[in-house]
Amino acid sequence: MSACAALLLAAATGWLYFVQMPKLRGQLSQSAAELRTQQQARAALEQQIAGSTQAEANVPLVMLQATRDVQAAPNEVSVPPGAKHVVLWVEVPAGKSNRYRLQVDTADNRPVEILDNLHRNTYGALAVSLPVEALQPGDYQIRLSTQGPSPASLLAEYRLRIRRP
């Protein structure tokens, strides 16, 4: 009887050691890897949030000027390394509308950004901040239209060239 009990105890111990322990070690390793991945993602998000809440000095600014001359040089802005935003300043012609739409497209008419419900500031202009990530070096076409009580109408078109040193 005691030999049977010892054999049964040895079988149970062997099963735990050779079957269950490797399975538990694998699950523990997988959980540890998932935890490290989540910690890295969290650290990256915290860094991104901290970067977006900090003030940015020397923000590139371009005052857009409309022109009908196709040969005229586009408005240009040089984006320095480390810049997070580009600010567009648009003088708005006086009119009946108090809401505006600004649409930014690439030179081949692919949409980059559409900003709705813009209002004139105290200087009678629109000031818009665009993330630099969305603006690769190259040419862009910007359209300003009304969103007021009457049907939307195109007010002006601008050409913009983004350069990086």
Q: Which parts of the chain have pLDDT scores under 50? A: none
Q: What is the pLDDT of residue 114?
A: 94
Q: What is the pLDDT of residue 96?
A: 66
Structure tokens at 160: 């913009």
Q: What is the pLDDT of residue 51?
A: 65
Buried b (16+ CB within 10 A) or exposed e, 12-48: eeeeeeeeeeeeeeeeeeeeeeeeeeeeeeeeeeeee
- Is this model's pTM higher than 0.85 or not? no
Q: What is the pLDDT of residue 55?
A: 75
Helix (H, G, I), strand (E, B) or coil at 152: coil
Q: What is the pLDDT of residue 52?
A: 67
| Nearest alpha carbon to residue 126 among 157, 102, 151, 159 | 102
